[in-house]
Amino acid sequence: MSETIRQLISEEDVDKKIREIGEQISRDYEGRQVHLICVLKGGVFFTCELAKRINVPVSLDFMSVSSYGDDTSSSGVVRIVKDLDESIEGKDVLIVEDIIDSGRTLSYLIEVLKQRNPNSLRLCTLLDKPERRVKDVNVDYVCFNIPDEFVVGYGLDYAQKYRNLPYIGVVEL
Ligand code: HPA
Ligand code: MG
């Protein structure tokens, strides 16, 4: 069976919002270097676009995690599939996510990173589904709050497809 994609947020609106968030981050980190941690794979498109809109020095690292069981039923304990290449000790770290859903995996990831003694640790997400939250996470930068619908594009996939869409769409089966 094939699915159709209904546009939820246009490419133009996504680009405009990323510029705004990039400007806000640039102001907040003025005089410092920001170390972006891209959470693979979904965060990769957003991380690249965001990094281009930040005008303080940026460094980048990548991490890939998977939860034991699915995100809705798991304890949120994560397995680090790919760890960071560099130490984050003393750095001003900004985690970059594609979407925040239950918050389980992410709150665990935050605890893991805090133990590595960054100077600061903040969180930025392209999308947030606040209705889905079961674990409190403090989100510092949100591009869009969205309803509880399954979305794709801008890094987000449905069975590994549609990550490359330049807009955010809802999957209709
Ligand atoms: N789309 C893709 N991946 C996801 C979603 C979604 O809506 N929610 C959590 N992971
Ligand atoms: Mg993700």
User: What does the pLDDT look like over 104-122, one tens digit per residue?
Assistant: 989 999 999 999 999 999 9
Q: Where are the alpha helices (DSSP H) in 43-170?
A: 44-52, 104-114
Question: What domains are defined for the chain?
Answer: 11-147 (3.40.50.2020)
Decide: 151 in ligand 1 pocket, CB within 6 A: yes
Provide, rounded to the nearest whole percent, the portion of the chain with pLDDT above 90.
89
Ion ligand 2: residues, CB < 5 A: 42, 98
Count other C-beta atoms under 10 Å from residue 144's C-beta: 17
Secondary structure E strands in 41-150: 58-67, 78-82, 92-100, 120-128, 141-145
Distance, CA 12 to ligand 2 centroid (Å)?
Answer: 22
State how far the Cα of 66 lies from the Cα of 81, in Å rounded to an integer.
7
Instruction: Give mean pLDDT, residues 130-158.
Output: 97
**Cα separations (Å) of 46 from 133, 154, 167?**
21, 7, 11
Distance, CA 64 to ligand 2 centroid (Å)?
Answer: 9
33 within 8 A of 59, measured Cβ to Cβ: yes
Decide: 156 in ligand 1 pocket, CB within 6 A: yes
pTM of the model: 0.95
**Cα separations (Å) of 8 from 61, 70, 99, 120?**
30, 25, 15, 33
| β-pair type (141-145, 120-128) | parallel
Decide: 78 in ligand 1 pocket, CB within 6 A: no
